A and B are shown apart, each in its own frame.
Chain A
Amino acid sequence: DARVTQTPRDKVTEMGQEVTMRCQPILGHNTVFWYRQTMMQGLELLAYFRNRAPLDDSGMPKDRFSAEMPDATLATLKIQPSEPRDSAVYFCASAGPGADTQYFGPGTRLTVL
């Protein structure tokens, strides 16, 4: 049963701390997306990668957010330093070559106090 996995599922931290979220895309999928869900904005695209190369990170606050794909099985989203306004659910999604359908992970609920 192929699925996208994300860790941690929940994270509570204090303002100023570093937060790292991890995602394992579906095996064979070559495009990985990071989204943030907020009440006001719905699902916002933060960044995405194809074949591990960043294609677009224009949705991310550059000064504090960074996204990487160290290898084909791991994508990371890091926030340093975290702020209360970063509190949201962060989703990772992956898609196969040439496919438009994205498959989402269960999300990481981040709370910054």
Chain B
Amino acid sequence: DQQVKQNSPSLSVQEGRISILNCDYTNSMFDYFLWYKKYPAEGPTFLISISSIKDKNEDGRFTVFLNKSAKHLSLHIVPSQPGDSAVYFCAASDSSGNTGKLIFGQGTTLQVKP
């Protein structure tokens, strides 16, 4: 049972345009969401997060939007750069359990073409 789903395995975008990566979740107890970026032969690195009390969080070119009623979050990258080409994982946690446990999606491979 996949509680966090990234339904698009891959996405290709032109440099300078917007990249939108999507993530859906099923567990209404999730209250904290994160995006990680992963380059080949490296571990995932934390990118940006959002708490369920917010609907938007912005950090430079990266913005995460949360729609709790739809159980959907998205990561916007504007403008996209070739160095953004990587696998992006969304993750969710239920912090009320105080476990620190994250449930990850399967990842979306972003390719930004020069």
Q: Is A54 an interface residue (CB 8 A)?
A: no
Q: Which residue of B lies closest to A48 (CB)?
A: B101
Known A-B contacts A102-B46, A107-B43; A43 and B100 likewise in contact (beta carbons under 8 Å): no
Which residue from B36, B42, B89, B100 sits with its C-beta under 8 Å from A99?
B100
Q: How many residues of B contact A (CB 8 A)?
A: 22
Nearest 9 Cβ contacts at the A-B interface:
A104-B43, A42-B106, A43-B104, A104-B44, A31-B100, A106-B43, A100-B32, A101-B46, A105-B43
A selection of 23 A-B contacts at a CB cut-off of 8 Å is A4-B43, A41-B106, A42-B105, A42-B106, A42-B107, A43-B89, A43-B107, A45-B101, A50-B100, A56-B99, A91-B43, A91-B44, A95-B100, A100-B34, A100-B49, A101-B46, A101-B49, A102-B100, A103-B46, A104-B44, A104-B45, A106-B41, A107-B43
